[in-house]
Amino acid sequence: MPVTRELLQHVIDEGLVLDALPEDFDRLGERYSGKVRENFSTHGGERIIVVSDRVSAFDCVLGTIPFKGQVLNALAAHWFEATAALFPNHLIEVADPAAIRAVECRPIPIEMVVRGYLTGSSSTSIWRAYERGYREFCGHELPGRMRRHEKLRFNIVTPTTKARKGEHDLNTSKQALVRTKVIELELYNELERRCLALFAEGQRLAAERGLILADTKYELGRRPDGEIVLIDEIHTPDSSRYWYAESYERAMSRGESPRALDKEYVRTWLIEQGFDGEGVPPSLPDEVRIEAAMRYVEAYERVTGKTFEPDLRPPLPRLREALKLG
């Protein structure tokens, strides 16, 4: 069934979006609730991750977007499979359209943000720092006279701290992380090299689909055997910035923002309402939720070359059955 605006309105009206999980899901294991994902650590050394339809921006949970969890789950699984030979990951199986089973890992307490372009809209983005006159960002020297959205001379890693739910991630640098003993220099250098290689492969595969992968973030963890693997998600519209390749140069020549296929639409709408992460965020009207959903679906279809087939069953009973909650 093709995803239409009418179908999305029906999903909203009928309450078929996946938001919070009730207490009976705690039988799966010890729960940790993220901004978007509900994580359950089992006694058998696994982690069950349910990807909700919640949407966050500027580190604030804003509401829900229909089918968002299914899109993110499917896209992450697609990229995990496509890049497993380059960088192993924690995925065991896709248990439900919105859930996976994964190896329980010990998280590495930083996010590796990889950037290929001078862009961003949040107050902590590389563009906002550059706009304020800074020519050094997370330990990297930046050239003068660059334009917003311009390609950097080479891809760079700009790490952030891992914030708790409701708090803001903070920009940092390799030097600061090593100095404060958050991570050893040798390990950081290894992760930096591997993340840059992974990002380059993501850019190559995205280019084959007519897209520019402008930036992304990777979360990493150690499996019980000590191997470092990718966890959480990879190259989804939540963690990454995608632009249409065919219109990039035209947008730059006009001084416009490149046409985007990611969560930037929601961020831009929030900024237009006067919200940039401080105070109480505005409620997302249905038309914004529907437009965002259409973009998430298009991102899946553009990246994978497959038609997105949503599961229209009520999400909670479906998940209980898939995860054997009875």
Q: Is the pLDDT of residue 5 over 70?
A: yes
What value does the mean pLDDT take over residues 4-20?
A: 98
DSSP-derived secondary structure letter, 168 = -
Q: Count the Cβ atoms, other than its own, within 10 Å of residue 244.
A: 15
Q: How far, in Å, CA of 141 to CA of 129, rounded?
A: 12
pLDDT at position 122 is 85
The per-residue pLDDT for range 275-322, each reduced to its tens digit, is 988 889 999 999 999 999 999 999 999 999 999 999 999 999 999 999
pLDDT at position 167 is 60
Q: How far, in Å, CA of 60 to CA of 260, rounded?
A: 21
Phi, psi at residue 245, to the nearest 5°? -65, -35
DSSP-derived secondary structure letter, 246 = G
Domain count, the chain: 1
CB proximity list for 94: less than 8 A, separation 6 or greater:
73, 74, 77, 100
Share above pLDDT 90 across residues of the chain, in percent, rounded to a whole number = 92
Q: How far, in Å, CA of 253 to CA of 185, rounded?
A: 41
Q: How many H helices and E strands in the chain?
A: 9, 15
CB proximity list for 113: less than 8 A, separation 6 or greater:
157, 158, 159, 160, 215, 216, 217, 218
Sign of torsion, CA 190 191 196 198?
Answer: positive
pLDDT at position 166 is 54
**Residue 288 domain boundaries:** 5-322
Q: How far, in Å, CA of 120 to CA of 37, rounded?
A: 23
CB proximity list for 196: less than 8 A, separation 6 or greater:
114, 155, 157
The per-residue pLDDT for range 142-190, each reduced to its tens digit, is 999 999 999 999 999 999 998 665 566 799 999 999 999 999 999 999 9
Q: For position 113, which CATH number holds?
A: 3.30.470.20
Alpha helices in 104-173 (DSSP H): 126-131
